């Protein structure tokens, strides 16, 4: 069997860029660490490090070994925390990755079924889909919510399913959304200041296609990656904006926003991406079981009056 102590010493040497700094970190003699790394190379049958000037550099075989060691020891760092949580029953941990551009207001609606969980410890990470999927594969995340399904990658062993599909409406502050503007919607978007999600959002191409199909040239005054921030700026009078009916209920928390019109034919999709581990997480299963797109859409439609 592979000696993980030897692998650990090798991992530290690469991470610290040399034997001397690794020895300082481990409080060991350089010669001792060198012997352990050579034992690892002997066990694997390949040279992992080679001389480079006064130091060492990683071989191709070493890079492969280091990449796997990085995964192993990152996972290992979570063991103590997870064992403590499991033994003490102090918290129910749910780590979620949110892709850039996804509607955070819609995400809040999808998480509603688990937010009342006793001792819930909710961790939300936002970033590029590729980065989040890598963290999911390393089990740093329990689930990733994205505007698109996971790209095909047999090495990651991920499953992807459509969690919600919700129509999109336009809202704006009372000062901008008058009866005349409602009556002339959607052509009033050429006169009104318009706020849009950035190209990070999977919704943006659908909106651009909708404008083009109607021959509209909207007066765009702002673009935002975060839908909640977009809604706040809209409420302060900066412009009108589109949002899925799934997240519209939370817009009700921001006073003064009114419905302008429906964005017919445009929907926002949210996909749930899981690893094998996430397929058995009780809170993930609870959230997915409650996420019936029809009932969520109806709930959003019956939300607070804006």
Kindly report the three-state secondary structure assignment for every residue of the chain: CCCHHHHHHHHHHHHCCCHHHHHHHHCCCHHHHHHHHHHHHHHHCCCCEEEECCEEEECHHHHHHHHHHHHHHHHHHHHHHHHHHHHHCCCEEEEEEEECCCCHHHHHHHHHHHCCCCCEEEEEEEECHHHHHHHHHCCCCCEEEECCCCCCCCCCCCEEEEEEEEEEEEEEECCCCCHHHHHCCCHHHHCCEEEEECCCCCHHHHHHHHHHHHCCCCEEEEEECCHHHHHHHHHCCCCEEEEEHHHHHHHCCCCCEEEEEEEEEEEEEEEEEECCHHHHCHHHHHHHHHCCHHHHHHHHHCCCCC
Does residue 266 surpass a pLDDT of 80?
yes
* Residues 20-55: tens digit of each pLDDT: 999 999 999 999 999 999 999 999 999 999 988 878
Q: Select the more confidently predicted residue: 83 or 188.
A: 188
Task: State the pLDDT confidence band at 226, using cuts at 50, 70 and 90.
Answer: confident
Statement: the pTM of the whole predicted model exceeds 0.85: no
Q: What are the tens digits of pLDDT across the range 236-264?
A: 899 999 988 877 766 665 677 889 999 99
pLDDT of 299 higher than 50: no
Mean model confidence pLDDT for the chain: 84
| pLDDT over 80 (residue 154) | no
Q: Which one has a higher pLDDT value, 230 or 119?
A: 230
> Mean of the pLDDT values across residues 91-112?
83
- Whether 295 has a pLDDT exceeding 50, the answer reads no
Domains of the chain: 4-77 (1.10.10.10), 86-164+271-301 (3.40.190.10), 165-268 (3.40.190.10)
More confident residue, 293 or 70: 70
Mean pLDDT calculated for residue range 277-282 = 75
* Res 10: pLDDT: 95
């Amino acid at each position: 069997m592979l000696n993980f102590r030897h692998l650990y010493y090798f991992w530290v040497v690469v991470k610290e860029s040399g034997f001397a700094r690794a020895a300082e970190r481990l409080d060991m003699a350089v010669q001792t660490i060198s012997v352990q790394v050579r034992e690892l190379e002997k066990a694997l049958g390949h040279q992992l490090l080679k001389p480079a000037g006064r130091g060492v550099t990683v071989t191709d075989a070493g890079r492969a070994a280091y990449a796997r060691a990085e995964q192993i020891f990152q996972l290992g760092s979570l063991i103590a925390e997870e064992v403590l949580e499991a033994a003490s029953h102090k918290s129910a941990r749910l780590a979620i990755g949110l892709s850039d551009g996804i509607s955070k207001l819609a995400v809040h609606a999808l998480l509603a079924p688990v937010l009342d969980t006793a001792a819930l410890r909710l961790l939300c990470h936002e970033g590029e889909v590729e980065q989040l999927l890598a963290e999911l594969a390393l089990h740093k995340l329990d689930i990733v919510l994205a505007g698109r399904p996971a790209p095909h990658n047999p090495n990651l062993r991920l499953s992807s399913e459509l969690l919600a599909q919700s129509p999109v409406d336009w809202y704006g502050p009372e000062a901008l959304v008058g009866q005349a503007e409602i009556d002339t919607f959607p052509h009033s978007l050429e006169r009104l200041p318009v706020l849009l999600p950035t190209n990070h959002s999977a919704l943006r191409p659908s909106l651009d296609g909708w404008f083009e199909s109607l021959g509209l040239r909207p007066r765009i005054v702002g673009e935002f990656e975060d839908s909640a921030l977009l809604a706040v700026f809209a409420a302060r009078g900066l412009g009108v904006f589109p949002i899925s009916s799934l997240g519209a209920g939370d817009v009700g928390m921001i006073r003064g926003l009114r419905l302008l019109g429906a964005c017919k034919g445009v929907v926002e999709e949210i996909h749930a991406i899981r690893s094998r581990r996430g397929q058995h997480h009780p809170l993930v299963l609870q959230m997915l079981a409650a996420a019936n797109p029809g009932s969520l859409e109806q709930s959003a439609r019956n939300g607070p009056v804006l």
